[in-house]
């Protein structure tokens, strides 16, 4: 089956991101295709490239990147939700005159239309939130 995940919980604030990550691994281990993880609401914080959790805790951002690289999972971040929470890729940083860049590939800033598209294209869209 083709799956997609909608993640709306902030990392390290509640269980949502951890659960979504474990579900993502379970999906691919069972031989299903995980098309994308769509980050919305506080879930966009998962894309924060400047996150520096203690070394003895799971690094959620890096875990998403590994998942994306190993299983060709798109990491789509709602651009409107991201910008107002300080998450900007290089293009948006330039556009808004900001010195720092906080979102790097394979995370990509994209529109909510992608979420709707995933809901249509995939057999299952599974939501994780606080």
Catalytic positions are 78
Which listed residue (5, 6, 24, 67) binds other proteins by CB under 8 A?
Answer: 6
Site for other proteins contains 15 (CB under 8 A): no
Q: Are 81 and 41 in contact (CB under 8 A)?
A: yes
Which residue's CB is nearer to other proteins, number 65 or number 114? 114
Closest separation between CB of residue 18 and other proteins, Å?
19
Site for other proteins contains 129 (CB under 8 A): yes
Q: Exposed, middle or buried by CB within 10 Å (0-12, 13-18, 19+), for 108?
A: middle
Q: Exposed, middle or buried by CB within 10 Å (0-12, 13-18, 19+), for 85?
A: middle
Count of residues that bind other proteins according to CB under 8 A:
17
Task: Tell me the backbone φ, ψ of residue 124, rounded to 5 degrees.
Answer: -140, 130
Binding site for other proteins (CB under 8 A): 6, 8, 40-41, 80-81, 111-113, 115-117, 119-120, 125, 127, 129
């Amino acid at each position: 089956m083709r799956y997609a995940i909608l993640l709306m919980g902030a990392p390290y604030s509640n269980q949502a991101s951890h659960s979504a990550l474990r579900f993502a691994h379970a999906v691919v281990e069972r031989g299903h295709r995980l098309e994308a993880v769509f980050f919305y609401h506080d879930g966009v914080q998962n894309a924060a490239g400047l996150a520096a959790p203690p070394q003895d805790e799971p690094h959620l951002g890096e875990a998403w990147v590994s998942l994306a690289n190993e299983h060709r999972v798109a990491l789509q971040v709602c651009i409107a939700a991201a910008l107002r929470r300080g998450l900007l890729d290089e293009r948006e940083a330039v556009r808004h005159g900001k010195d720092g860049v906080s979102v790097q590939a394979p995370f990509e800033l994209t529109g909510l239309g992608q979420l709707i598209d995933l809901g249509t294209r995939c057999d299952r869209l599974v939501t994780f939130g606080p």
